[in-house]
Amino acid sequence: MGELRGTHVPVLLERCLELLDPALRLPGAVHVDFTLGLGGHAEAVLERYPDVVLVGLDRDTEALAHSRHRLARFGERVKLVHAVYDELPRVLGELDLAGFHSGLFDLGVSSLQLDEADRGFAYAQDAPLDMRMDQTSGITAEQVVNEYEPGELVRILRQYGEEKFAQRVVSSIVRERQRGRITSTARLSELVKESIPAAARRTGGNPAKRTFQALRIEVNGELATLEAAVPEALDALAPKGRLVVMSYQSLEDRIVKRALTARSRSTGPVDLPVELPGTGPTLRLLTRGSEPPSEQEVAANPRAASVKLRAVERIDQATPGAARERPRLTTTHGGQGRLRPGEREEGEGKA
């Protein structure tokens, strides 16, 4: 196992631990790291909470190898599994666990995948067009770029990359692949840059960023996997358990937001004075909307610049079948209504 290039700095480490702390202190606490990566967050949990058992998931076998080496000193407290995060039910079953108490999703591309040029994730470095998080299976970005129908490529760039010039980019790709197969990240990056008007290239960073994001999401099926994974995680979360999710682009955050807010609201009739059994919220939102990183965090770790953090706690349902009085609207010092934990809101709040 070679040495890693670059420095791995876990994103929002202290804030994550602050939010997860009450759950990590529960008796027999099990912490699930759904996106283990190089194990920075996991290592901090194991060091600070000596009774916690870690279940670490990652689809990237290279990342698992590095984390296995890094976390070896914690012995039997560490259970690392080669799995995608929507495979949690299978993993818990194989480990004979009924659920978990603390969980963390750190979505997007890991430091390993970005820093190792030959993985093909970075548009600033030349490499084969791969982009698979799990290099043992699945299609590559090269196959997508060279073999997908033009209309499907346009859809992917628009939907997953939010690329305004998707049609122009795809036209360039199609012309190029008629001359010969596109096999390198550098060539694809050049094609994208040439396709986007000069005025649009002056802002927003590297013009290839959105196309590379879209291809990565398609290759790894990221959004469909996330749509399945978050509800599965919430179903397995123990009472008083907590879950933190960090997203790095709006499509991910939208999926997470929908899943969390849906369970933080009552599903019963709004005009009843009590909550009917089974209709109350099952989650308490711990963040108001999504939390951005602080200026200090971004200065210390530039990769945190686009992160959006959301956190929830599983409500400990008291007596099953008992009707509960609805929470009432309280007021802040400024006289504005403020919802108590678990009370349903009007609208979804800020993104």
DSSP conformation class of 278: T
Length of the chain in terms of residues written: 351
Query: Which residue is listed with tokens 């009774």?
Result: 51
Classify residue 298 as exposed, middle or buried by CB count within 10 Å of its CB (0-12, 13-18, 19+).
Answer: middle
Classify residue 134 as exposed, middle or buried by CB count within 10 Å of its CB (0-12, 13-18, 19+).
Answer: middle
Residue 104 CA to residue 182 CA, distance in Å, equals 37
Residue 113 known to bind ligand: yes
Residue 118 known to bind ligand: no
Classify residue 206 as exposed, middle or buried by CB count within 10 Å of its CB (0-12, 13-18, 19+).
Answer: middle
Nearest alpha-carbon partner for 65 in 2, 117, 136: 2
Residue 58 known to bind ligand: yes
Residue 93 known to bind ligand: no
Residue 60 known to bind ligand: no
Beta strands at 100-106 and 30-33: parallel, antiparallel or unpaired: parallel
Annotated binding residues: 39-41, 58, 85, 106, 113
Annotated binding site for S-adenosyl-L-methionine: 39-41, 58, 85, 106, 113
